[in-house]
Amino acid sequence: MQNRILVFIGFLALGLVFGCSKFRKIEKSEDWRVKYEAALTYFEKKDYYRATVLFDQILPIVRGLPEGEKVQFYLGYCQFYDKNYLFAAEYFKTFYTTYGRSASVEEARYMHAYALFMASPGPMLDQTASIDAMVSMQDFLNRYPQSTYHDKAVDVINTIQAKLEKKGFENAKQYYRTRSYKAAITAFDNFKKNFPDSDYHEEADYLAIESTYKLAVQSFTTKQKERFQQVVDRYLEYLDKYPKSKYLNPLEKMYADSILQLSKLKNVNS
Would you say 202 and 229 are in contact if contact means Cβ atoms under 8 Å apart? no
Would you say 234 and 205 are in contact if contact means Cβ atoms under 8 Å apart? yes
Look up residue 156 and give its amino acid.
V
3-state SS of the chain is CHHHHHHHHHHHHHHHHHHHHHHHHHHHCCCHHHHHHHHHHHHHCCCHHHHHHHHHHHHHHHCCCHHHHHHHHHHHHHHHHCCCHHHHHHHHHHHHHHCCCCCCHHHHHHHHHHHHHHHCCCCCCCCHHHHHHHHHHHHHHHHCCCCCCHHHHHHHHHHHHHHHHHHHHHHHHHHHHCCCHHHHHHHHHHHHHHCCCCCCHHHHHHHHHHHHHHHHHCCCHHHHHHHHHHHHHHHHHHHHHCCCCCCHHHHHHHHHHHHHHHHHHHHHHC
CB-count burial class (<10 Å; 0-12, 13-18, 19+) for 202: middle
pLDDT category of residue 269 using cuts at 50, 70 and 90: low
Q: Which residues neighbour 152 within 8 Å (Cβ) at sequence distance 6 or greater?
A: 110, 114
Going by C-alpha positions, the residue among 62, 46, 53 that lies closest to residue 23 is: 53
Structure confidence at residue 58 (pLDDT): 96
Structure confidence at residue 15 (pLDDT): 46
* pLDDT 10s digits, 247-261: 999 999 999 999 999
Look up residue 39 and give its amino acid.
A
pTM of the entire predicted model = 0.79
Give the dihedral sign, CA 189/195/197/203. Answer: negative
* pLDDT 10s digits, 195-220: 999 999 999 999 999 999 999 999 99
Residue 109 has pLDDT above 50, yes or no: yes
Q: How does the average pLDDT of the chain come out, rounded?
A: 91
Structure confidence at residue 205 (pLDDT): 98
Residue 266 has pLDDT above 70, yes or no: yes
pLDDT category of residue 267 using cuts at 50, 70 and 90: confident
Calculate what percentage of the chain has a pLDDT beyond 90: 83
Q: Give the residue-averaged pLDDT of 111-121.
A: 95
Residue 51 has pLDDT above 90, yes or no: yes
pLDDT category of residue 124 using cuts at 50, 70 and 90: confident
Collect contacts of 133-138 with beta carbons under 8 A, ≥24 apart.
133/160, 134/160, 134/161, 134/164, 136/112, 137/110, 137/113
Count CA atoms closer than 13 A to 69's CA, side-chain side: 13
Residue 110 has pLDDT above 50, yes or no: yes
Calculate what percentage of the chain has a pLDDT beyond 70: 91
